[in-house]
Amino acid sequence: MNPNVQNPTPVLQAHALRKRYPKAKGWLEALKGVSLQLFRGEILTLLGPNGAGKTTLVKILAGLVEPDGGRVEVLQEGKRTWMGAVLEGNRNLYWRLTALENLIYFGTLRGLIPKEARRRGLELLETVGLAEKAQQTVGTLSRGQQQRAALAAALVHDPPILFLDEPTLGVDLEAQEAIRTWLLRLKEQGKAVLLTTHQMDFAEAVADRVAILQEGEVVLEGRTQEVLEGSPGAPYRIELQAPLGEGDPRLAQLRAFEAEVEGKVVRVVGEETLWEVLRILDPLPLERVERESLSLAGLFWRILGERSERCSSLPT
């Protein structure tokens, strides 16, 4: 809550955002009162498992989804073009237009004159390493190239704020690297970036601050470095040769030790627990046992583990 030292006023503030969607019986609470702040020259990464509400949050901030409660404050309000967004999925551009044509089109719709949009477009395609693909229709580009073109399109009108929903999903390593370097450069230019992902290594490499969202609530938020330092021992990762069956009685025993089970992978925190868990798993064939480095990934799994533990202890 205390203001950021270098950047005292946030460019974007969200207060107690709530959103629920109707579902078969009753409501699905997608966001249960989420607040966040976004500052200039900063990358905030929103982490969370599928269905945590990340996309809903980004769309509310962008004004594409109407919240049921709470409010969003932006420094430059009133225009729809104060931000650029690359939304989830791969269709942010016209597949039948070339990369450059897309940039000219969206640039003009976002307030540039066409000539200026063309100049900016060429410049941006150069920066994302797509200069020689500028004249190729977007449908014929690879996923990584499409995603880089979409990033360029989101920035063509030079907005101060950028929203990126899963920008690295399904993107090859080379393009991921290109996106990473570019994000860091944008940050230096003073842009405020909000990024969602469930790729922890990517998040760790770019994020100044992280917020972990789970079931519509921010369960942890802070500067990446501080969050990592405050995290307890790194978890152990046990990989089985085959996943445990649905009704396996060992599952309940594992949960009792706060172990996180994901298919063939079991994660536990603490050496003592590791031995207990190995005893439970005995004599199942193991693939490998390793210690995860002290990382966002470890922290993330631990927090999820804690939460599901708390939830499963509630009467159902």
Partner 1 sequence: MLQLAYIEFWRYLRAFFRYPLEVLGGVLGAVVVFALFFSGVRYLAGPALFGERLEALVVSLLAWTLAFSLLSYIASTLTEEALAGLLEQLALTRPGLLGVVLVRSAVSLFQIGLLNIPVFLAILLTSGARLDFHPLTLLPLATLALGALGLGLLLGGLALIYKRVGQLVSLLQFLFLGLFLVRFEALTQPWNALGYLLPLVPSVAALRLLLGRGEDPEWGLLFLTGINALAYIAFGIGFFKRALRRARRQGTLGTY
Ligand X SMILES: Nc1ncnc2c1ncn2[C@@H]1O[C@H](COP(=O)(O)OP(=O)(O)O)[C@@H](O)[C@H]1O
Residues that bind partner 1 (CB under 8 A): 19, 21, 56, 59, 62-66, 79-81, 83-85, 87, 89-97, 101, 104-106, 108-111, 113-114, 137, 153
| Shortest Å distance, C-beta 165 to ligand X | 7
| Shortest Å distance, C-beta 66 to ligand X | 11
For Mg ion, give the closer residue by CB, 59 or 110. 59
Residue 51, binding choice from Mg ion, ligand X, partner 1, none, Cβ under 5 to 8 Å by partner class: ligand X
Residue 199 is a binding residue for Mg ion (CB under 5 A): no
Q: Which of residues 13-32 bind ligand X (CB under 6 A)?
A: 21, 28, 30
Per-residue tokens: 17: 């955002």
* Angle at 46 (CA atoms; ends 40, 47), nearest 5 degrees: 155
Among 37, 45, 55, 98, binds Mg ion (CB under 5 A): 55
Judged by CB under 5 A, the stretch of 27-35, 37-45, 82-90, 139-147 that binds Mg ion is: 82-90
Residue 54 is a binding residue for ligand X (CB under 6 A): yes
Residue 66 is a binding residue for ligand X (CB under 6 A): no
Where on the chain is the footprint of Mg ion (CB under 5 A)? 54-55, 88
Sites of contact with ligand X (CB under 6 A)? 21, 28, 30, 48, 50-56
